Copies of this chain bind each other. A is one copy, B any other.
Amino acid sequence: MGATPVREGTLFRVWAPQSRSLDLVIEGHPSASERYPMEREENGYFRLLLEGARPGTNYRYLLDGGILRPDPASRLQRSGVHGPSTVWWPPEDSPPPFSAPPLRDQIFYELHVGTFSPTSDFDGILPLLDHLVKTGVTALELMPLSQFPGTRNWGYDGVFPYAVQWSYGGPDGLLRLVREAHLRGLSVFLDVVYNHLGPEGNYLSDFGPYFSTTTRTPWGNALNFDGPDSDHVRHFFLENLRSLALTFDLDGFRLDAIHAIRDQSPHPFLADLSRLAKNIGSRRGRPLPLIAESNANDRFTVRPVEEGGLGLDSQWSDDFHHALHVAFTGERLGYYRDFSGVDDLKESLAQGFVYRGQYAPSFRCRRGSDSRDLPGASFVFFAQNHDQTGNRMQGERLAALLPPEALPAVAALVLLSPGLPLLFMGEEYGETRPFLYFTDHGDPELIEAVRRGRKEEFSAFSWAGDLPDPQDPETFERSRLILADPANPLSDFQKRLLAFTSRLAKLRKTVSALSPPEAIGGDQNRVFSPADSVLAI
């Protein structure tokens, strides 16, 4: 799929089952583009081996002589989501061997490339890798990198799943980052979005039935994983995971919002994906764990495929976050009204989830299934993440909401938890700058719709102040870490918190009793007394 440089030139291959004809259009000088008719294979694919094409060649596809579109499997979009695709291929030298820690020993660090570094790109991260090593985290978890509209986006509006955001440094930049991270012993996980595509530059429907005609998600039509022609759609995303994993030598993936992947086939796409990841892992001799984000609290997410599960390795526990947030902030609006605070926090530490089948007021239905027999490592525990921070109107982190003395307790709860800890970038030293929602769309109507949508999203909360404009570059700039700013050294408190975080991470790694237990409900090593640990650590 996509454009593959071979000895004789470049092989172009694309699925367009609804088209009678397809032309490859090579875009050289603006005034001189060349058209090559492609050959129709079986199953709706078109192909062409073009001799002159090589890495760096710009191209698009002309569908039925009518519309000109970039390649759904484009690996490079140097002019953004609406521009031509560019042939790209990774360099031939193989990456240095890397041996990632087992999943159960990982400490995750969620990182947004645009706001983490002073230059908003991969190369800007490199000088900060040593800081991460010192902090004690073991795995970067990069927010989505698929090419999105403009230069400012969380990444969930990506529309080219095979392309790495050009403004971040593109695929070559990502290769450099992974290499440097691995050299320092850091694993690299990537967040991938297999539940929808962004609203701008989403041309997949021009090529084929990538989207369901019967089901919508909160963000647009659901992907077609179980309807007619879904085999190819699955193939497109299965190959996407394989291609990303192998091209960039990644150590695992976070799967965004799998509850929005609507799929009732006997062989769910996600079960296929977990089988694929296990195959890749055993073939390369290094596992490729998959971690789900899901609001379903469903034990079958991590149960083996042959036992009716999806076979994923772990899943985020929003319940831990929400319980902790309520315990520390006292907030009870929106989805926080489902949680009581300290009791629920203990419950999630003891069971992984708080909602294991009870009625959840904010969901307005029963939620979850039994989880106490699941391994500790099948839960990811965090006190903050991009969503829980950025989906507040003012994007406040805990350091802006809590008194400083509460932050070490939060850090201890996360880093000594029986699941896999995850820190949100900046959390290690109590970053006080906000993490806001920002976009860089090109369509005025869409910009307005996003502004409206954000306001509606916050209607359940009674937050004060004006909504920062997502489209304003300043909103993005305000979200950049203080760490990225050489003119702004950390405060003494921040330095002390960082040292404490680092000591906790070290403790977790050296005290084997702190490893995630075989069954989270059977953990004998942790006794969380709210009076002792939460309030007076």
Contact = CB atoms under 8 A, between A and B. Distances in A.
A366 interface: yes
A44 to B, nearest CB: 10
With a 10 A CB-CB cut-off, give which of A217, A307, A357 has the most chain B CB atoms: A307
Given A231-B359, A359-B231, A364-B228, A266 B369 contact: yes
A230 interface: yes
Interface in A360-374: 363-366, 368-369
A interface, size bucket: 20 to 34
Nearest to A263: B264
A262 B262 contact: yes
Contact of A266 (B215, B300, B363): B300
Contacts of A308: 300, 303, 307-309
A123 interface: no
B266 A298 contact: yes
Contacts of A214: 215-217
A227 B307 contact: no
Contact of A365 (B227, B262, B359, B364): B227
A20 interface: no
A255 to B, nearest CB: 15
B296 A264 contact: yes
A86 interface: no
Given A215-B214, A264-B264, A308-B309, A229 B364 contact: yes
Interface string A413-452: 0000000000000000000000000000000000000000
Contacts of A265: 296, 298, 365-366
A155 B269 CA distance: 35
A184 interface: no
Given A228-B365, A308-B308, A365-B226, A299 B266 contact: yes
Nearest to A261: B264
Nearest to A363: B228
A379 to B, nearest CB: 15
A498 to B, nearest CB: 39
A151 interface: no
A259 interface: yes
A455 interface: no
A478 interface: no
Chain A residues touching B, majority SS? loop
A374 B381 CA distance: 40
Interface string A302-333: 01000111000000000000000000000000
A267 interface: yes
A266 B296 contact: yes
Interface in A246-301: 259, 262-267, 296-300
Contacts of A309: 308
A357 B264 contact: no
Contacts of A368: 266
A359 B266 CA distance: 13
Contacts of A303: 308
Contacts of A264: 259, 262-264, 296
Contacts of A228: 363-365
A216 B263 CA distance: 14
Interface string A102-120: 0000000000000000000
Nearest to A231: B365
A231 B364 CA distance: 8
Contacts of A266: 296-300, 357, 368-369
A401 to B, nearest CB: 28
Contacts of A216: 214-215
A13 to B, nearest CB: 19
Given A214-B215, A308-B307, A365 B259 contact: no
With a 10 A CB-CB cut-off, give which of A215, A226, A229, A266 has the most chain B CB atoms: A266
27 contacts: A215-B215, A215-B216, A226-B365, A227-B365, A228-B364, A229-B364, A229-B365, A230-B364, A231-B359, A231-B364, A231-B365, A231-B366, A262-B262, A263-B264, A264-B264, A264-B296, A265-B298, A266-B296, A266-B297, A266-B298, A266-B299, A266-B357, A267-B366, A267-B369, A307-B308, A308-B308, A308-B309
Interface of A: 214-217, 226-231, 259, 262-267, 296-300, 303, 307-309, 357, 359, 363-366, 368-369
Q: Which 9 A-B pairs have the closest CB atoms?
A: A308-B308, A228-B364, A266-B298, A266-B369, A230-B365, A214-B216, A215-B215, A231-B365, A229-B364
Given A228-B363, A307-B307, A308-B308, 12 more contacts: A214-B216, A214-B217, A215-B215, A215-B216, A228-B365, A230-B364, A263-B264, A265-B298, A265-B366, A266-B296, A266-B300, A266-B369
